[in-house]
Chains A and B, each alone.
Chain A
């Protein structure tokens, strides 16, 4: 941070650090790479302070406080790591770990789905020391093809409920009951389809345990190889949401929203999140086609097809004038496609017989 732009300082693990008014201790600590553990935190959402993992010690305070909900005050002396804090955190992790059926989830489940498993390892907390009853009732009856609702792996962090309300403004899901009986549900405990859910998938992407998971991506879990990610932009509307395309074995297996996408900041809609598999649809055109004397389209090679295309334009220009050739560019293809189309018409025929599909 630019030293000229901060408002005051606090002491963080013995070091004086600059703070902007209103910043939470967690935010300051993140900037200084303290890697305080969290489960209920999503930087896009209002902090909740529910999981208690982000506790820190403040000099003069009797008990540790949740750093995500505590605003850094001038002169505060904060300790983010101590034997006492680490013991608290380990016990908390043992408790959530004991309650869940599956401790390891396939990373195809969602963007944040490995958060709990990572912390269980970090705190060596796979002890099942508090094993007994489990909270949360899964909804295998919800047969929607996008969002798995495996609430037996839910830890009641409410990130799904909050992202649906705060990020999406849809309020499709909420929590029912309290304490161990807490259950994430929809109005009237029905299917997501019958709720205000728009299937944007944001709940999947914020879930830290894979309790909510991407059904379409998980259908590819047996595709061999490492999952690779490629940053690109969604192919649908003009908002231009950034996505990371997940691929395995040269196949698109799922989509992750780009949390740092400049236009979407992690948000997506049902099309951008789930309508990706058209690229591998068997009906994709894989070879050039030309119309034969029988009136039908037949597969051919590029040489033949390009010659046929070129000859047709040359003949039209020769017989009917250069204005007789017209090009229409796509609003779906990249710049290079549109640029080349207008270059072909202008550079090839010297006309402005060119448009794109924006008028319909």
Chain B
């Protein structure tokens, strides 16, 4: 997030797109509700009538995967109606004129033909956001899990730049991170393009710095992403170690994924349960869990906080860092003689400019939001104040393109996937916590009542979903959250392995799968 969570109560216009926040980030959603109570206007763009949409002043029920066209048209209206922040454009951005010329070609009527949203509603939303004193954008995977995920994010950046809604209190572009330490995994350099602290692996100066620190020169070239690596399994990739991810259930195209992992010569999994993924491994190493492990995490607002051990782990379970460092030692590698989480974290701080001002003891109370470049620094709750890291904000000229797969006579229904409040990911944890089943005991397919009748289904009956990659059987739940022609299911339940169906396409830059769009056929089943 460019801005802290505290800022969520400060905008006068909030634009939420592709975020089912009340279910996926419930505590953050309470901030939005309080902002509304204080008088903020809420615009929600989501194909489904999610709870946030029910609270919205304007709901833009766009067709799945049509976000770019909506955002182009909003920029068009902002330019047309004189809502551009000229001073911001002049002082802090480049390519602004080209951008304004570009969006002139995309009026709301054009977007209506793609999104299915009334042009008047698009206009109204753009005018509100454009005229806001403080306009803030919040988004989640509904933006990124598309073949055009990067285009979607850049379209949102364009909107913030053209209205000057960045670098100030109560504004910003704010992705809500989905896992407790997914931000931290990136911060720590578990990325094929960056060393810790987002230092590029292509920069020879960084190469030299880490060669000295690690005693090994690292290639001056990008590694493959996880998605590419799974494609290479059994061929260029022969051995893999996965820590705490139930890859075969969470990732698209399950059959492909299982086949990839089975074709490895050597597969090691570190986890707290024998997950579907761990069952495929040659070696499974038991990790300590939450409440058993001392460590550090970073939340969606870049806040660096301590995790503390409260109970003894079961049996022989060990902290993840211990396990990996001991494998390294067994291989005869130098420099892996760590004995505490504190030692590990402090080494990270010494190598990462954004953590340079932090250490294990300084983050005791969790008040720092990175970057914290030196010991006297108080942290950076709001990014891009005064200046962008690369100087000026650059407008990107984005064109709309269709999802990888679009509906056809054979697969005439849009399937979109997501999460539910009472389940977390593949239920390795929530599914093993008493009482959760009382709230959510099985997965269902959300189908609009008008479609239930048309497709010969029954509320509570069974149906089969079929995509070009496979079929899944699931119970039907008739409700109006999904619009006619679109159905929704979560990926949390192993007996409804929806990722058997997904995987039609990937974003060319991030390789994130288009999990939010998957044309299917829906047929009654016994």
User: Which stretch (B103-111, B158-166, B300-308) binds chain A?
Assistant: B300-308
Chain A-chain B contacts (Cβ-Cβ < 8 Å), number: 491
Residues of B within 8 A of A320 (CB): 236, 238, 265
Residues of B within 8 A of A290 (CB): 282-284
Q: Is the CB of B293 within 8 A of A328?
A: no
Most chain A C-beta atoms within 10 Å of own C-beta, residue among B176, B300, B324 = B324
Given contacts A312-B268, A326-B240, A358-B182, contact A338 B188 (CB under 8 A): yes
Q: Is the CB of A316 within 8 A of B272?
A: no
A35 within 8 A of B: no
Instruction: Give the contacts of B384-432 with A (CB-CB under 8 A).
Output: 421-422, 424, 428-430, 432
Q: Is the CB of A275 within 8 A of B283?
A: no
Q: Is the CB of B317 within 8 A of A286?
A: yes
A279 within 8 A of B: yes
A222 within 8 A of B: no
Residues of B within 8 A of A277 (CB): 432-434
Instruction: Give the contacts of B26-40 with A (CB-CB under 8 A).
Output: 26-30, 33-34, 36-37
B291 within 8 A of A: yes
A259 within 8 A of B: no
Q: Is the CB of A263 within 8 A of B303?
A: yes
Q: Is the CB of B223 within 8 A of A284?
A: no
A64 within 8 A of B: no
- Complex Cα distance, B347 from A347, in Å, reads 14
- Complex Cα distance, B191 from A308, in Å, reads 26
Given contacts A199-B439, A239-B5, A323-B236, contact A276 B433 (CB under 8 A): yes
Given contacts A169-B33, A338-B190, A356-B190, contact A271 B422 (CB under 8 A): yes
Partner of A287, one of B303, B316, B324, B335: B316
Partner of B439, one of A270, A313, A355: A270
Partner of B282, one of A276, A312, A355: A312
Given contacts A276-B433, A330-B243, A335-B188, contact A313 B320 (CB under 8 A): no
Q: Is the CB of A347 within 8 A of B185?
A: no
Instruction: Give the contacts of A268-292 with B (CB-CB under 8 A).
Output: 268-272, 274-281, 283-291
CB distance from A282 to the nearest CB of B (A): 9
- Complex Cα distance, B177 from A296, in Å, reads 37
CB distance from B200 to the nearest CB of A (A): 10
Q: Is the CB of B223 within 8 A of A355?
A: yes
Residues of B within 8 A of A357 (CB): 179, 182, 185, 226, 244-245, 247, 250
CB distance from B381 to the nearest CB of A (A): 11
Partner of A329, one of B227, B243, B282, B345: B243
Nearest to B330 among chain A residues (CB) is A310
A205 within 8 A of B: no
Nearest to B193 among chain A residues (CB) is A352
Nearest to A337 among chain B residues (CB) is B320
| Count of interface residues, chain B, beta-carbon cutoff 8 Å | 149
User: Which stretch (B68-76, B130-138, B507-515) binds chain A?
Assistant: B507-515
Most chain B C-beta atoms within 10 Å of own C-beta, residue among A235, A263, A330 = A330
CB distance from A66 to the nearest CB of B (A): 24
Instruction: Give the contacts of B436-477 with A (CB-CB under 8 A).
Output: 436, 438-439
Given contacts A271-B424, A277-B433, A360-B252, contact A241 B223 (CB under 8 A): no
Where chain A touches its partner, the secondary structure class is mixed
Nearest to B35 among chain A residues (CB) is A169
Q: Is the CB of B27 within 8 A of A335?
A: no
Most chain A C-beta atoms within 10 Å of own C-beta, residue among B180, B245, B367, B435 = B180
Partner of A232, one of B5, B266, B308, B324: B308
Given contacts A313-B266, A348-B333, contact A327 B241 (CB under 8 A): yes
Nearest to B26 among chain A residues (CB) is A269
CB distance from B71 to the nearest CB of A (A): 22
| Count of interface residues, chain A, beta-carbon cutoff 8 Å | 112
Partner of B192, one of A247, A287, A312, A353: A353
B112 within 8 A of A: no
A144 within 8 A of B: yes
Q: Is the CB of B225 within 8 A of A275?
A: no
Instruction: Give the contacts of A332-360 with B (CB-CB under 8 A).
Output: 332-344, 346-348, 350-360
Q: Is the CB of B25 within 8 A of A239?
A: yes
Instruction: Give the contacts of A184-218 with B (CB-CB under 8 A).
Output: 193, 198-200, 215-216
- Complex Cα distance, B196 from A295, in Å, reads 38
Q: Is the CB of A279 within 8 A of B331?
A: no
Q: Is the CB of A352 within 8 A of B201?
A: yes
Nearest to B179 among chain A residues (CB) is A331
Residues of A within 8 A of B187 (CB): 335, 338
Given contacts A302-B316, A347-B216, contact A358 B186 (CB under 8 A): yes
Residues of B within 8 A of A337 (CB): 243-244, 295, 319-321, 324
Residues of A within 8 A of B319 (CB): 336-337
Q: Is the CB of B241 within 8 A of A328?
A: yes
CB distance from A335 to the nearest CB of B (A): 4
A267 within 8 A of B: yes
A238 within 8 A of B: yes
Q: Is the CB of B345 within 8 A of A336?
A: yes
Q: Is the CB of A250 within 8 A of B189?
A: no
Residues of B within 8 A of A193 (CB): 438-439
CB distance from A236 to the nearest CB of B (A): 5
Partner of B293, one of A334, A344, A356: A334
Q: Is the CB of A285 within 8 A of B421?
A: no
Nearest to B223 among chain A residues (CB) is A352
B281 within 8 A of A: yes
The interface bits of chain A over 307-323 (1 if a CB of B lies within 8 angstroms of the residue's CB, else 0) are 11111111111011001
Residues of A within 8 A of B513 (CB): 359-360
Residues of B within 8 A of A72 (CB): none
The interface bits of chain A over 229-254 (1 if a CB of B lies within 8 angstroms of the residue's CB, else 0) are 01111111111111001010011100
Q: Is the CB of B366 within 8 A of A312?
A: no
B58 within 8 A of A: no
Q: Is the CB of A238 within 8 A of B30?
A: no
A146 within 8 A of B: yes
Residues of B within 8 A of A341 (CB): 190, 241, 243, 320, 324
Residues of A within 8 A of B180 (CB): 233-238, 240, 331-332
CB distance from A291 to the nearest CB of B (A): 5
- Complex Cα distance, B26 from A347, in Å, reads 39
- Complex Cα distance, B422 from A53, in Å, reads 39
Residues of B within 8 A of A340 (CB): 320-321, 324-325, 338, 344
Nearest to A334 among chain B residues (CB) is B295
CB distance from B267 to the nearest CB of A (A): 8
Closest CB pairs A-B (n = 6): A334-B295, A286-B315, A240-B299, A169-B33, A330-B244, A352-B223
A–B complex contacts, Cβ < 8 Å, 23 sampled:
A216-B434, A233-B180, A237-B424, A238-B178, A238-B180, A240-B303, A262-B303, A267-B30, A274-B435, A277-B432, A285-B314, A291-B282, A305-B285, A306-B330, A309-B285, A309-B327, A316-B238, A331-B178, A336-B295, A336-B319, A353-B224, A358-B186, A360-B226
Other contacts beyond A338-B184, A356-B191: 9, CB < 8 A? A145-B435, A280-B314, A286-B286, A335-B295, A337-B295, A339-B196, A342-B196, A346-B218, A358-B185
Listed in ascending order, the chain B residues whose CB lies under 8 Å from chain A are 5, 22, 24-30, 33-34, 36-37, 55, 176-193, 195-196, 201, 210, 214-219, 221-227, 229, 236-245, 247, 250-252, 265-266, 268, 270-274, 278-279, 281-287, 289-301, 303, 305-312, 314-321, 323-328, 330-331, 333, 335-336, 338, 341, 344-345, 347-348, 365-367, 421-422, 424, 428-430, 432-436, 438-439, 510-513, 515
Listed in ascending order, the chain A residues whose CB lies under 8 Å from chain B are 144-146, 166-169, 193, 198-200, 215-216, 228, 230-242, 245, 247, 250-252, 262-264, 267-272, 274-281, 283-291, 297, 301-302, 305-317, 319-320, 323-344, 346-348, 350-360
